[in-house]
Chain A
């Protein structure tokens, strides 16, 4: 969508207010048609993603006292997705990407009653990734999508984390490495770690999800010794 612009509003700020409170106050007192998506106001629904003073963040988790005092606060919609209106963007591309990722495919049950036996140390890695609230701030900040518009070739950090949670699950038997290399474009990630910096759930996206996946792709497609070893092991 083309057009749009910045508008200045003045709001009286009191102790403990977050940016979302200010937006609500503007809606209540000055601009009832100001569009903004929100839900839980507790940093758990991932709805109120925006850019505050140029940095992607949740409006409900950004306290006014953490921003430079006496200066205007710039609130923008996420830049990586099409704008619907004001602070609301169309993030439906993300849902389409998610549908393409091969789903969880568990091995046969370990026990006669149809259950599996797993150990905590084996699921800890996946559990970190399951903290994701799908706020899509990592997608917004990723320059591959934001600046280079590789939406057709790169799935973005959110879905690399999603894939890592599946790939590292000890019960899962599916192989997604070929998809990661070709369709999902994992090689486009050049490890800026911006996704890790903006994650409100503090998921170590780059070090714990993306780089381990890159290494698994190297095992499968780029490391001649590992590939040779795999051939010999298959023959024996």
Chain B
């Protein structure tokens, strides 16, 4: 029998713990996964080109549009995607001000993910060490100055439901893009039905994003969770049960949709650059 004196309760230093499992693995994987996406999406958004396939300039190709750029408000300089809501970049846009159609879009889904309950828990751990993992020591400067989401600035996370409202609109827009990807413009100038690999990629993208968006904790609250009486409305009860099913898989959908939305942009980009071929399967 041996004895080693300590003071209890212990105050652990940053990253100190008595855990012996691989507690660092999950926050490290989260850190790397989110960093990889942030780097790629920022790079992709700043390119301002190769974000579509098909359209007036590419006869015979399916109408594919990168989700990073959808909806296109104005096309990039010198480009005609056929997807732009207004048209070309207006002449009053200052030449010194960097423009890419994606820069007008990405902040909205970014706001949704940033305020998402799952991602909050994940990036507080991975990026801020708050805590890095359960029963692992935190940076000493935080100590009793911890504010959590009780005070500014993180109290603003309570606006997550407004990000959800915008995200739902985006699901419909991306759903339309997936539908549009089922068509291509033939040499006769008319649109023809066809299904390509890209059509499947865009459709999978909107399905996964829909699974993520409609499994949101806020959505679960709004469709029924805020009521004590679920049985008072059969529709409310059904909606609550279905959203709860998605909600229990929220982390899974969060990561699958994040990966796939990045891959969808990559797919459209590579096809647009002519490096990959968007093979047509039907039509």
Contacts and interface: CB of A to CB of B under 8 A. Distances in A.
B275 interface: no
A204 to B, nearest CB: 8
Contacts of A133: none
A79 B7 CA distance: 11
A192 B149 CA distance: 12
Contacts of A77: 8
A153 B117 CA distance: 22
B1 A187 contact: no
A197 B26 CA distance: 14
Interface stretch (B34-42, B106-114, B123-131, B193-201): B123-131
A5 B225 CA distance: 48
Nearest to B165: A225
A66 to B, nearest CB: 11
B190 interface: no
Contacts of A211: 117, 217
Contact of B155 (A9, A53, A187, A193): A187
B138 A147 contact: yes
A134 B147 CA distance: 27
B226 A187 contact: no
Contacts of A216: 221, 226
B121 interface: yes
Q: How large is the interface on A (under 10, 10 to 19, 20 to 34, 35 or more residues)?
A: 35 or more
A19 B81 CA distance: 66
Contact of A55 (B3, B135, B138): B135
B253 to A, nearest CB: 14
Interface string B204-230: 000000000000011011000110111
A207 B150 contact: no
Interface in A46-85: 51, 53-56, 68, 71, 74, 76-77, 79-83
B1 A83 contact: no
Given A144-B146, A212-B225, A222 B134 contact: no
A215 B225 CA distance: 9
A122 B227 CA distance: 9
B221 A212 contact: yes
A172 to B, nearest CB: 7
A188 B148 contact: yes
A36 interface: no
A64 to B, nearest CB: 15
Nearest to A4: B8
Contacts, number: 163
Contacts of A148: 142-144, 146
Contacts of A214: 158
B134 A207 contact: no
A198 B134 contact: yes
B9 to A, nearest CB: 5
Interface in A143-182: 143-144, 146-150, 153, 167-170, 172
Given A7-B3, A207-B248, A222 B19 contact: no
A148 B247 CA distance: 30
Contact of A54 (B3, B8, B20, B131): B20
A215 to B, nearest CB: 4
A27 interface: no
A201 interface: no
B1 A147 contact: no
A43 interface: no
Contacts of A198: 134
B87 interface: no
Contacts of A101: none
Interface string B1-44: 11111111110100001111100000000000000000000000
B77 interface: no
Given A7-B1, A189-B148, A168 B228 contact: yes
19 contacts: A5-B4, A51-B135, A53-B19, A54-B19, A76-B8, A119-B231, A144-B146, A147-B138, A147-B146, A189-B148, A190-B130, A191-B120, A192-B134, A194-B134, A194-B135, A207-B248, A207-B250, A212-B217, A212-B221
Given A53-B18, A54-B18, A122-B231, 13 more contacts: A5-B5, A54-B20, A55-B19, A71-B20, A74-B18, A170-B229, A188-B147, A189-B148, A189-B149, A191-B118, A207-B217, A212-B225, A216-B221
Interface of B: 1-10, 12, 17-21, 117-118, 120-121, 124-125, 130-131, 134-135, 137-138, 142-144, 146-151, 154-155, 158-159, 161, 217-218, 220-221, 225-226, 228-231, 237, 247-248, 250
